[in-house]
Structure 1
Amino acid sequence: MDWSWFFTNFFAALLLPPLNMLIIAAFGFWQLKIRPRVGIGLIAGGLFGLGLLSTPYVSSRLLATLQVPPLPNSDHDAEAIVILGGGIRSSAPEYGGGATINARTLERLRYGASLYRKTGKPILVTGGAPVGAPVEGPIMRSILENEFGVPVRWVESRSRNTRENAQFSSPILRQAGIRRIYLVSHCWHLPRAIPEFEREGLDVVPAGTGYVSTGRVRLFDFVPSYLAITNSAFALHEWIGLAWYRIRG
């Protein structure tokens, strides 16, 4: 087992919704007999926080704090397109039972394919896996080439996180004489990804996808939903990741 990957994801789960709010509420139940007021406050705080993070209004605004501006239609001066993996589904019976990409990675591939058709720039896909799991990079290449009809020049398949995406992709790009890249990922993930590629000496043009709107407010924006709690988790994951990368240097 890849213990580094395991513990990273285990502690991330503890810090992200819904588990973080449920832990606060559970601690409150434990405190009820010892310190009733503290217990009631923790239970109320945990449930209230869970409710807030479950509303589209809150989740969209959390993601909006991370969004980079969309790529201008006229910006076609980078030398290559780098598409970051966003995860896989380990079993897809509708595709014969093997592994395939998840919805986040598919969204990134679709935008990367669109960018390729506009620019004609060569593509690098990057995504590995914990030991023993299906490797993401080759699956991304297969889908781009066989389903989108877009060629992939390079595949990086050792990385397990965003920092390693940059560390393992940059030598491939430098060997090909590439210095300026379009970096394709979700717009809320790019603030964490861009500095990692810049650390490796690359000039990055952000190419974000998956934007959320914070314009018109509707009544249902205050009704809890499973999608909203997921988006809140994405946002908090990125903020925690940004802080962790800065601490590690």
Structure 2
Amino acid sequence: MTFDPSTLLFWLKKLTAVMLLPPVLPLIPIVIGLLLLHSRPRLGKLIAWSGVVINVLLITPFSVSWLVKQVEYPETLDAAAARTAQAIVVLGAGRRTHAPEFGGETVNRLALERLRYAAQLARRTGLPLLVSGGAPRGDTPEAMLMQRTLEQDYGLRARWVESASRDTRENAQFSAVHLQAAGVRRVLLVTHAMHMKRARDAFEAAEMEVVPAPTAWFGGGTDDTGSDQALIRMPSQNTAYAGWFALHELLGQLAYRWSQ
């Protein structure tokens, strides 16, 4: 792997994200507080307990539900707008490096959720598919794993394989090169509802017209009384993951705004 300035910046961004997301985020004030207990006991306790509070907020259904609502795209695909699209773009979401049952590596469950919906849309509309996702660590580009999954599991071929991107912004920039060369300007963009706002902004910045086609909502839905189901569930690993994903997207949106 070549460490040019853009590569170094990419990994610095990844390291910063690790520090600002759970499980590391709440541990930082806890450790700082414990280190201060001897010299500044009151301040140390306050800082340490603040880390505990942050951790509780990021696993509690009520607070996680609120956080999810701030970033998750609320609407399903607009059928009328979909008829004006020229192609379907599906963004990568990660890989499983140890998948011996599939002969090596494959896409992870998040990418599979996106591919499943993209395949359904491709069959419904007849539009060509573009898969986007690179290989930041220098291994098999994720787009190639996505292409393989589409062919083997859904019997569909991707017309374009964008395999150089490392993040959402590059997904948009590099995909736009393929699409615009083919005369495509308006696309159905398939990604998680939690990721849609940031992805749409990136593609529009790359001068593409976007019809959002979100999938796999983490929030929303009500019970028989009209109450948000997310507010009545007990804390669980699913709640913790939803909190991580929502905070990740919120930080990503803020980073995009600052860099514009």
TM (norm. structure 2) is 0.90
2 CA distance for matches of 1:12 and 1:185?
Answer: 20
Match 2:190 to one of 177, 184, 188: 184
Aligned pair in 2 of structure 1 residues 37, 214: CA closer, same or farther (>3 Å)? farther
In 2, distance between residues paired with 1:177 and 1:122? 13
Higher alpha-carbon deviation: 169-178 or 209-218: 209-218
Do the aligned partners of 1:90 and 1:134 also contact (CA within 8 Å) in 2? no
Residue of structure 2 in register with 1:129 after alignment: 135
Map 1:29-108 to 2 at 5 A: 29-68=34-73, 69-74=75-80, 75-96=82-103, 98-108=104-114
State the match for 2:253 in structure 1.
242
SS at match of 2:191: strand
* TM-superposition CA deviations, 1:219-245 (whole Å, max 9, x none): 984632222121111111111111111
Correspondent of 1:145 among 133, 145, 151: 151
Matched with 1:213 is 220
Report the 3-state secondary structure (helix = DSSP H, G, I; strand = E; otherwise coil) of the residue aligned with 2:189. strand
- Do the aligned partners of residues 5 and 91 (structure 1) sit closer, same or farther apart at CA in structure 2, a change above 3 Å counting? farther
Aligned counterparts of 2:178 and 2:228: Cα–Cα separation in 1: 45
Q: In structure 1, the residue corresponding to 2:71 is in which secondary structure?
A: coil
The answer as to whether partners of 2:113 and 2:215 remain within 8 angstroms in 1 is: yes
- 1:233 corresponds in structure 2 to 244
Which 10-residue stretch deviates more, 106-115 or 34-43? 34-43
Q: How many residues align?
A: 248
Moved more, 219-228 or 195-204: 219-228
Q: Helix, strand or coil: the match of 2:210?
A: strand
Aligned counterparts of 1:151 and 1:179: Cα–Cα separation in 2? 20
Uncovered stretches (5+) of structure 1, i.e. residues with no partner: none
Is the CA contact (8 Å cut-off) linking 1:88 and 1:100 kept in structure 2?
yes
Whole-Å separation in 1 of the counterparts to 2:45 and 2:199? 40
- Identify if the C-alpha distance between structure 1 residues 151 and 17 changes in structure 2 by more than 3 Å, giving closer, same or farther: same
| SS in structure 1 of the partner of residue 130 of structure 2 | strand
Deviation larger for 62-71 or 112-121 = 62-71
CA displacement at 1:168 relative to structure 2:
0.5
8 Å contact kept, 1:87–1:101:
yes
Q: Distance in 1 between matches of 2:11 and 2:181?
A: 32
Is the CA contact (8 Å cut-off) linking 2:62 and 2:230 kept in structure 1?
A: no
Alignment counterpart, residue 22 of structure 1, candidates 20, 27, 37:
27
Q: Percent identity?
A: 42
Displacement of 1:122: 0.5
User: Looking at both structures, which has the greater relative contact order when contacts are Cα pairs under 8 Å and sequence separation is at least 6?
Assistant: 1
2:124 corresponds to which residue? Answer: 118
Structure 2, unaligned runs of 5 or more: 2-6
What is the match of residue 161 of structure 1? 167
User: SS state of the match for residue 100, structure 1?
Assistant: strand
* Secondary structure class of the residue paired with 1:90: strand
Contact (CA 8 Å) 2:220, 2:230: kept in 1 or not? no
